[in-house]
A and B are shown apart, each in its own frame.
Chain A
Amino acid sequence: MNVYMDHAGTTPLDPRVAKEMEPYSLTKYGNPSSLYTLGMEAREGIDEARSQISKFLNVKNTYDKIVFTSGGTESNNLALKGVAYAYRKKGKHIITSKIEHHAILEPCEWLEKEGFQVTYLPVDKYGMVNPQELESAIRKDTILVSIMHANNEIGTIEPIEELTKVAHDHGALFHTDAVQTYGKIPVDVEAMQVDILSMSAHKIYGPRGVGALYIRKGVRMQPLFHGGGHEFRKRSGTENTPGIVGFGMATKIAKSEMSHDKKKQSKLRDKLIKGSLLIDNSRLNGHPKKRLPNNVNCIYLYVEGESLILELDFHGISANTGSACSSKSLEPSHVLGALGLKPEESHGSIRFTLGRQNTKEEVNYVLEVLPKVIERFRSISPFKEDFILQE
């Protein structure tokens, strides 16, 4: 049996999205900036996608902007660097959290080298940012607060409305990286009152290489790309029409199927969590209630994640781990570290992220395979109850 459970990594393209995209490469291929019919047709496709995304986000003000980008990483880079450089005369302080995606943390570290100051807020043991921590960290010169809507590793959903209020009370802008929530749970810019929000298409059965940034009216932003002035002068470069149209269609489908998907996946998620925790020396990471409907992240002590992932793969199961051994840098997951987990504990973390196609049978199969795989590695491991290397 082949079971794909890494939907937080990426998702397959929905065939309905592929069908919608195709004409924009084959027949409606005009440059959307052109005045002739072929160009106008492409422009209409982009406008339609923009409107689909605006609807999903519940955008009320027609002067708010949806700027298309190449994906979540670019959206986050544009938000952070764009705001930092547009507001640097007002202040040079930015606040984010310790559990953000690397596409937030790395630009922040780069901005620090450029003379900005960044405060990285801690999280509690469930991965929640406390609005009071933000209140004490915020300063007169804080220009931007960036806290993710939900964490990609542990699925914890952050209290964005409360955090936005704190930022606004002190005159700072608020950005949220909604790459993991967009299309999966309601993402309402009016309810959350965020100023800037990042999205990605390939996490919601859309194409790779396309994302977007929501920018509230009046928010200034320096572009990363200078050129022909596309996308409200925020992102120059001829538009990726098929990608953008696909993103729009993926959004439309997500909107109409969200409540069904959410219900189905939460049920499977809870079943998978319950079954996984029957294994000895296991524990759930992330918030037990305030978590993404598709996220399961558990620790199994005395085993190492890369081995688990490879062995699960032999059984046809695709999952992910926060183990240092599986990362390019050989660093353990910064998210699990921020929860207070020791590196030797985070080695044994496994993340399953469910998607539209996953079934009860697949969850049962994972629950049948997983204990055997863990047992195999525990039998090879010198650790049993002690985790101390004794010479």
Chain B
Amino acid sequence: MYSKELMEHFRKPRNQGRMENPDAVGKGGNPVCGDVMYIYLKIEDDRIEDVKFETFGCAAAIGTTSKITEMVKGKTLDEAIEVTKKDVEEAVGGLPPVKRHCSNLSASVLHKAINKYRSEQAKT
């Protein structure tokens, strides 16, 4: 059902946990549907210095969130915001059709975090 790469991230999630004093947090999903993810960012000079995540959900939700943290760590915000849902799906070696929509929310959650950070920066 799931690819090797996804199962690898499901079993050994990268960058898992809560971050103390993050520069930005993105939250998304819906507990009713069963997938909720938080992405925490530490940002320096518009670059993602550190990233952490917490996910409640199925293997696809956990695996894709873990994967995106790996993909964007060290990237500039401009580069990171270019990462799409489809990129994540491809990076984990594909997802079962029923999981494509509900569990692959990590890109939108990451974008939320970046946009929030940018709008806050613009204010100061």
Query: Which residues of A come within 8 Å of B, CB atoms?
Result: 302-304, 306-307, 310-311, 314, 323-326, 328, 330, 332, 342-344, 347, 379-383, 387-391
Contacts and interface: CB of A to CB of B under 8 A. Distances in A.
A389 B29 contact: yes
B34 A303 contact: no
Contacts of B29: 389
Given A307-B58, A307-B62, A380 B32 contact: no
Nearest to B103: A325
B98 A380 contact: no
What does DSSP make chain B's interface, helix, strand, loop or mixed?
A: mixed
Nearest to B38: A382
Most chain A beta carbons < 10 A, residue from B10, B27, B56, B59: B56
A389 B27 contact: yes
Contact of B34 (A347, A380, A382, A391): A347
Given A343-B32, A389-B29, A325 B57 contact: yes
B30 interface: yes
A325 B36 CA distance: 12
Given A323-B34, A325-B103, A307 B98 contact: no
A328 B56 contact: no
Interface residues of B, number: 30
Interface in B5-41: 7, 10-11, 13, 16-18, 27, 29-38
A200 B29 CA distance: 40
Interface in B35-83: 35-38, 54-59, 61-62
B57 A307 contact: yes
B98 A330 contact: yes
Contacts of A387: 31
B56 A381 contact: yes
Contacts of A314: 11
Most chain A beta carbons < 10 A, residue from B10, B34, B103: B34
A330 B10 contact: no
B93 to A, nearest CB: 16
Given A380-B13, A382-B38, A383-B36, A344 B57 contact: no
A307 B29 CA distance: 17
Given A347-B34, A380-B55, A330 B102 contact: yes
Contact of A389 (B18, B36, B59): B36
A32 B52 CA distance: 67
B54 A380 contact: yes
A314 B37 CA distance: 24
15 contacts: A303-B56, A307-B58, A307-B59, A314-B11, A323-B34, A324-B33, A324-B34, A326-B58, A330-B33, A330-B98, A342-B32, A344-B32, A387-B31, A389-B36, A391-B27
A304 B33 contact: no
